[in-house]
Amino acid sequence: MTLATLSEVLGPANRDGYAVAGLVTLGWEDMRAYVAAAEAEGVAVILQAGPSCRKHTPLPILGAMFRHLAEAASVPVVAHLDHGYTEEECREAIGAGFTSVMFDGSRLPLAENIARTAEIAAMAHAAGVSCEGEIGFVGYAGGEGSAGTDPQEAARFARETRIDAMAISVGNTHLQRGGEGGLDEARIRAIVEVTEVPLVIHGGSGVPHAQRRALARGSRIAKFNIGTELRMEFGRALRAAVARDPDRFDRVAILSEVHEPLVEATRGVLRGLKGE
């Protein structure tokens, strides 16, 4: 069994100059493809259950699926709750076998974000689980705008919450489709100078691949969250599978043809974050 906590995979990443992919899952088909890709590349992987995934499938089921995949995997697999908005959600995830929880209090005033994140981090640590927090709201393409992370606020947040990883807002945006963004490297350097915790980039699909690769190797960013980029590949492969025989109705047969294209696309993402 290679089930791991977030701190167990991010510590070596920071030490050795690479980043780990936090891959946003929606169902069994992408989960198993992500683990297969990680095994093929010989790297750790973080399986993430975000709000839309949890809306579709209950947390206890997701926890069992993540753990089942980890038990058979040859690489470390983290079972991670992405964007938990309440203590109850984080508590349920811990009870369901998740090894890492993210509490997102980024919309809250700083003092309240610190207080609530610190409480959840303490609860997680007592259960042997890692905790990620967010300081500086990361917005959404076509929706709410981002609020850049203030380095001094980030230093206070990391120090007072005792989180294991810190998500920051440095030009990144959720749900971007094609690496059209670019991260504010000056702001990243300023945050690195005053903190020691591993850093996380949400909205990694919107970051150009070359910048992802450079920051994975040359900064303390230890985790890039990737969702949209791989969901788009899943959609392309699914449409192609349906079009090959429009009369087919067995979804198992159709979805089986999505696996290999998704594995290959995921391997490309993982290679871009390697240290060598």
Binding-site sequence positions: 83, 104, 134, 174, 202
From 82, 150, 184, 247, the catalytic residue: 82
Q: 3-state DSSP call for residue 33?
A: helix
The half-sphere exposure of 136 on its side-chain side, counting CA atoms within 13 A, is 27
- The amino acid present at 46, given as its one-letter code, is I
Return all residues near 129 (Cβ < 8 A) that are at least 6 apart: 5, 94, 98, 99, 100, 101
Q: Is 131 helix (H, G, I), strand (E, B) or coil?
A: strand
Residues of the binding site for Zn(2+)? 83, 104, 134, 174, 202
Give phi and psi for 2, each to the nearest 5: -120, 30
The encoded tokens of residue 41 equal 């590349």
Phi (first) and psi of residue 101, to 5 degrees: -130, 145
Q: Is 43:75 a contact under the CB 8 Å cutoff?
A: yes
164 catalytic, yes or no? no
Q: How far is CA 77 from CA 73, 171, 269, in A?
A: 8, 28, 16
Structure tokens at 127: 């259960």
State the catalytic residues. 82
